[in-house]
Amino acid sequence: MARKESGVRPSGKTVVNVPTALVVGLALLVTAPGAWAQPLHRDLSSYLLLTMRRASVKNLRVGSPCNVGVDCGSPTPKSKCGVLALGNVTGVDGGQVVGDQVFLRRPGSKLWQLFRNNDSPLDNVQLVAPAPNPQPFDPPVIPGTCDDACNPDYAAMGQACGFPSPFPACDPTKDVKVVRGGDCLPFDTVPGNQQCDLPPGTYGSLAMEDGSRLNLQAGDYVMCLFKAGQDTTTTAYGTTILLPADAPSKSALRANNGSNLGADCGDLRFLIDGETKVAFGRGGLVAAEVCAPRSKISLGHNNILIGQFVADTVNADLNNFGRCCGGACVCFNDLTPTTASAGTIVTATSNCDLTALTGVSVCGLPANVVSVTPAEVQFAVPPGARGTCKVEFVSPAGTFVGNLTLTVS
């Protein structure tokens, strides 16, 4: 995935010379977060996925130390509210899973730390953090967002997400149609470049044809609906889209198969007020914070999910990969080169702040860290690494496992 430049480049490179003995010590820190039982993270920025009432998630890989959870508690043991159903979900060091009733219904789950109040079997999960694990959960996750009877306070969750007050209205008279290879007149600010260049403002429904391209600027957009066809591309940076939706039978936000919404952390934010649906297809990229506390979200199949997803209920189909952008974790977006040999200096770039980095490993072996800046880390491929290697970044928050791999010959 190409790194998107924001126009602001951190300066003042900090060079870190790491002795060999220290490198070995850093490698041991991969499991350092588990040396103690961590309290539940109750800040919204720590969550990749948080629902108000329930969630069902299958075959999800979480590649950064962030949380998955259900906010409200269950008023009765047989209630469908406060339920988190997981199947073959894997996380990394420092990540937490939380729900009043958590059920692990398919084999293969590997979780760092579990918070729950029911006692269903744990045969299908490996819990990595030391005892006590699991730990009890005192709902709600975000204080003041749900009562004891499982009645969500959607306004409070919207406030936590940064909803404006009052929430603005869209303009149904200003629909935007994005066509493949064409402009979106009369709104387009750069005619003739085979894409829609849409300035911030208030619009009606936006519809993207299959294969079309949309370029958004930093700023706020108010729309009635946002629908992207198959294989569409939406580029943005620092963009907020406000959807004052109240149509339970419609999807206020939808992106079909093969579509890319943004590229990385900080690109897009969707704030959705009202009862509606959010749906993503398969084989796409969603780099966005999506806060829709009254809505149902379908995360789709085989998608890369970067950011945060807040909803009333969520279901996720198979084989999604996700990572969050908040909290104290470190992450990377690109590796250069992607094929290397022992001793090669590899540069990893990131839209996260990398200054909290404490170590790097390649194929499970400690790598010598050559230099660190907020946006870039250079490390040497360690002797003994070979084949298709996972690259892991270690910080006090836990271990980040990249979706990209490094081929070592």
| Amino acid (one-letter) located at 53 | R
Task: List b or e across 283-309, with b for residues whose CB sees 16 or more CB atoms inside 10 angstroms.
Answer: bbbbbbbbbbbbbbbbbbbebbbbbbb
Q: Name residue 291's beta-bridge partners.
A: 271, 310
Give per-residue pLDDT as tens, 346-385. Answer: 999 876 778 888 999 999 999 999 999 988 999 999 999 9
* pLDDT under 50: residue ranges of the chain: 1-35
Element (H, E) at 24: helix 20-28
Alpha-carbon dihedral angle through residues 345, 347, 352, 355, given to the nearest 10 degrees: 40
* 331 vs 168: CA distance, rounded Å: 35
The token pair that represents 37 in the structure block: 């039982």
Q: Is the peptide bond before 374 cis (omega within 30 degrees of 0)?
A: no
- Is residue 365 within 8 A of residue 400, CB to CB? The reply is no
Pairing of strands 376-380, 345-349: antiparallel
Mean pLDDT rounded to a whole number for the chain: 88
Domain boundaries defined on the chain: 14-35+330-396, 44-153, 160-311
Q: Name residue 213's beta-bridge partners.
A: 233
Q: Which residue has the tokens 């260049």?
A: 197
> What is the CATH code for 14-35+330-396?
2.60.40
Q: Mind giving me the DSSP string for 97-137? A: EE-SEEEEEETTEEESEEE-S-----TTEEE-SPSS-SB--
pLDDT for residue 356 = 86
pLDDT for residue 327 = 63
Please work out, in degrees rounded to the nearest 5, the angle formed at the alpha carbon of residue 364 by the alpha carbons of 361 and 368: 30
Pairing of strands 320-323, 334-336: unpaired
DSSP 385: -
pLDDT for residue 201 = 98
pLDDT for residue 389 = 94
Exposure of 246 in the CB half-sphere (CA atoms within 13 A): 6
* 318 vs 292: CA distance, rounded Å: 22
pLDDT for residue 15 = 33
The pTM of the whole model exceeds 0.85: no
